[in-house]
């Protein structure tokens, strides 16, 4: 899938994480001291990652997992430690370099890549996890991306989206007030009911059903995980 809006937003995300926020993101995803606001984001991301991992098998020996938008690699490392063969991909070269440096012994089971998480050249998987990597895209683009991933997935596609809440809506408006060069790529809040409706209407997802779902709200971090399980 390569719609104009998807490609444009992907370019913004690549620029942001490689040029503007690489060091800040490296610090946020470590155990280094951070500000109170960033601490809430760190705690929220840790809680969400734990939730998503709990929806995967405890023993993943012989299974193949795609970490779609791997960031600094924490989820990929955990999946590999459970025995999975992992492809960890991100559009940001800076984040992938950090992930590779942090992988430790788990690196033997992880193939790190810089590129498009939707590229079919990476083959088929048992599970796909896209944590906070689809939150910058419009709902229609998200569902098309999920359909593309589902077409190469045998068991489950697990992802997060930004649920439409008053706080997120307000933050979205405030974010537009910052100078363009200082802005993070905008998050696209999505109403859960609308997302479920689009998923039900998408032919490419007809073989999957919504399973687990869990919202995490921690200060300035609000995200909702959802599982699409093969029928």
Token readout for 129 is 């996890």
Q: What is the CA radius of gyration of the chain?
A: 17
Q: What is the reported pTM?
A: 0.92
- Could you give the CA distance from residue 191 to residue 185 in angstroms, rounded to a whole number? 19
Q: In this predicted model, what pLDDT tens digit does every residue of 107-143 receive, in sequence order?
A: 999 999 999 999 999 999 999 999 999 999 999 999 9
Contact 208, 147 (CB under 8 A): no
Q: In this predicted model, what pLDDT tens digit does every residue of 35-62 receive, in sequence order?
A: 999 999 999 999 999 999 999 999 999 9
Band (pLDDT 50/70/90 cuts) for residue 27 is very high
* Closest by CA position to 219, among listed 57, 46, 88, 65: 46
pLDDT value for 181: 47
Fold of the domain built from segment(s) 4-230: Rossmann fold (3.40.50)
Asked if residue 176 has pLDDT above 60, the reply is no
Q: How far is CA 165 from CA 54, 112, 189, 217, in A?
A: 25, 35, 8, 11
Strand partners, 159: 130, 226
* 155-169, 185-199, 205-219: least confident range: 155-169
Domain extents in the chain: 4-230
Token readout for 115 is 């590129």
């Amino acid at each position: 899938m390569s719609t104009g809006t998807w490609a444009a937003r992907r370019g913004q995300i690549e620029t942001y994480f490689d040029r503007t926020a690489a060091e800040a993101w490296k610090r946020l995803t470590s155990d280094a001291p951070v500000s109170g606001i960033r601490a809430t984001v760190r705690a929220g991301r840790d809680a969400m990652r734990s939730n998503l991992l709990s929806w995967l098998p405890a023993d993943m020996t012989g299974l193949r997992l795609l970490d779609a938008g791997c960031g600094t690699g924490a989820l990929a490392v955990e999946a590999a430690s459970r025995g999975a063969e992992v492809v960890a991909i991100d559009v940001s070269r800076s984040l992938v370099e950090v992930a590779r440096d942090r992988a430790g012994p788990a690196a033997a089971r992880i193939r790190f890549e810089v590129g498009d998480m939707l590229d079919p050249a990476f083959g088929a998987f048992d599970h796909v996890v896209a944590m906070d990597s689809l939150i910058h895209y419009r709902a229609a683009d998200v569902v098309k991306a999920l359909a593309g991933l589902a077409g190469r997935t045998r068991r489950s596609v697990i992802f997060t989206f930004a649920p439409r809440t008053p706080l997120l809506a307000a933050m979205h408006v405030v974010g537009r007030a910052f100078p363009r060069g200082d802005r993070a790529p905008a998050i696209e809040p999505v109403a859960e009911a609308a997302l479920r409706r689009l998923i039900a209407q998408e032919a490419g997802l007809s073989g999957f059903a919504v399973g687990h779902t869990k919202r995490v709200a921690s200060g300035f971090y609000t995200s909702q995980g959802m599982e699409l399980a093969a029928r």
